[in-house]
Structure 1
Amino acid sequence: NKELDKTVTSIEQKAQADFKKEKSILLGIKKDAKILFQASKLQKYPIFEDKNTLDILLKLQSENQLDGFITFTFNKESYFGVYKYHPKWEIFLVRAEEFGEFYAATTEIFKRVSLVIIAMTIVCAIIGIFLMRFILRYLKIITAGIIQMTRNQKLETIDIERAPADDITFLGVAFNSLANTINNLMNIFKKFTNRDIVLKAYRDKYIKLEGTRRELTCLFSDIKSFTYMTEVLGTDIITLLNLHYTRAINAVLEEDGIIGSIIGDALLAVYGALEESQGNKSYQAIRSAYEIHRVAQTIRKKMEEIKDKILSERGFLTPKEEKVYKAVLIEVGVGIDGGLVFYGNIGSYERMTNTVIG
């Protein structure tokens, strides 16, 4: 025991002589957490209080890993060091440095370098801000325009008329070109589908095959004697149909109706599908029906005027002209019904249509 005490004292004295920092330590830790010796300028501790670290050391020792690096808490401070297991004494020899002291020199160098970097960064940032504001002065206009479009959910061109010929201006020109292209595509899209579907696609960026049961009013319209008209007019029937549909479809849209489908001479219109519509859907359908009849009447009147002009000029119509005259005297039938229907998109993701069923 005297020999052991002498050896321990010698170890502590030698270690303290080698220490260059105030909180450096050398510990001899037994498996039961008792401290055999402690070389340091700190107060003496009889027990190694970091039980988690001791458990790790015991596990490593059982796995025959007898040395290595380790971190632990001692004297309520964090330490980093190396350990080695001494099998004869059955203790763990731990040589460690407190983290703050260990990194003190590095931290000081880092602080000085950081101050230099911060000073240079501030100077460069000030210069850079003035340069960037000058170079990117029109980028603010472009950004503000894009933000406004995002809020309004509507694409518009950006006014960069007085901008210099630089990359930022070219970016604005490219955006305006893209906006015009998309707007053209949207306008084309609107001609082939209903307004509510266009708005939903623009808002959600996606169209699903889905629908809901809704209380709607439907208007059905077709042209009487259409087969006879087609046989007489041939391809000219397209011109007559377009003349009729241009006005009839406007009559539907003006009353917040949407076009369910157009099949030859037949037109299906739906009322009450638009969320923003506040009118009575049945009354809107009736108003459209009266207007569609008025449109047909206007076309008949125009054709009668043309006939009267020909008769006044030459006094007669040829048999062919008589047939054509009878064919172009458009008469329409209109029916209105309302109730619970399915309204939505049917088909496939390659080709779909918006319609009502029920």
Structure 2
Amino acid sequence: MKTRVSINGYGNIGKRVAEAVKKQKDMELVGASKMNPDYHSHDAIKRGISLYAISNPDLFTEKNIDIAGSVEEMIKESDVVIDCAPSGVGLMNSSLYAKHPNVKIIYQGGEAANTAPISFNAQANYDDALGRKSVRVVSCNTTALSRIIKTLDDAFGVQKARVAIVRRAADPNDASKFTLNAITPTTVFPSHHAVDLNTVLPHIKITTMSCVAPTTLMHVHMFFTTLRNPPKDVSDVFRVFGKNKRLLIVSAKHGLYSTGQIKDLAYENGRQFGDLYETGVWKEVIGIDSDGELGMSLAIDQQAVTIPETIDAIRAVTESADKETSMELTNSSLGIGQMDLKTAVQSVKQRN
């Protein structure tokens, strides 16, 4: 029997989760909910997604948008609800979910860690989420760090990590908040990313700092780590990373010297919404200094990187697959690990 999944909040993340769920052979999308009728509502209908009203259904009727019912009716038809509401609203929704004790809830990383019993990253702590009533998928930046650090920790042992994070100012469609001509540091030390990382990898010693830059195209990390058993050469790091499909090695030699080119690569590979589910790692920037510290630069698609983990979380809370099976099913369905870098090489040749 397929797991029935619904999306509470159909926006930038909600639409991506909905499309990912539709690609899973072991899942069925019940529908998605909206607070207000807007272009996302019309988009859901065009994509064949049943739409449910969170509050006033008359608002949708007035704009000729057909709705399938109320958000409570949607939840009743579901085994799992993915809460994709704006940050902070998920906690407010918890009283609604409490009325449905047999329904599992998956929150997004914009919610506080105490919104659910545990935070979740598929690679880091999948088994801890098995059968849970609710979990919280960690944020986009933390998801990327979890993949990198868990991979390095398993192979070499991570003694300490230090990360400088350059965050995008807003998503491409968000005109309400944007730093136009300034770089704004996060005025707290460490930034919340270190605290968030320790919710899924509590044994890791990590310090993070961050700032907001005037861009909408992805986050960038400058990542440094001291390893307990350092590799003799960076080729050992490439070999380890190459086994993880959720890490993508990109090269400036292929024209991928900025987040703009990386997003373009995703579009050229036919990725829906131009999404990069993988954590990008620049080949030219990985290095080991004279003290044995490993450094690298990472690229993170803030709207896409948590989508695979959200799909894995569905299988974890329903206990419908083990970690390895779930991650492989998710990877295969979303084309993760199948990015054709030849398109980037061809683009460089055409420009030259």
Q: Highest relative contact order (Cα 8 Å, sep 6+), 1 or 2?
A: 2
Q: TM (normalized to structure 1)? A: 0.17
More helix by share: 1
Q: TM (normalized to structure 2)? A: 0.18
Q: Which of structures 1 and 2 has the bigger CA Rg?
A: 1
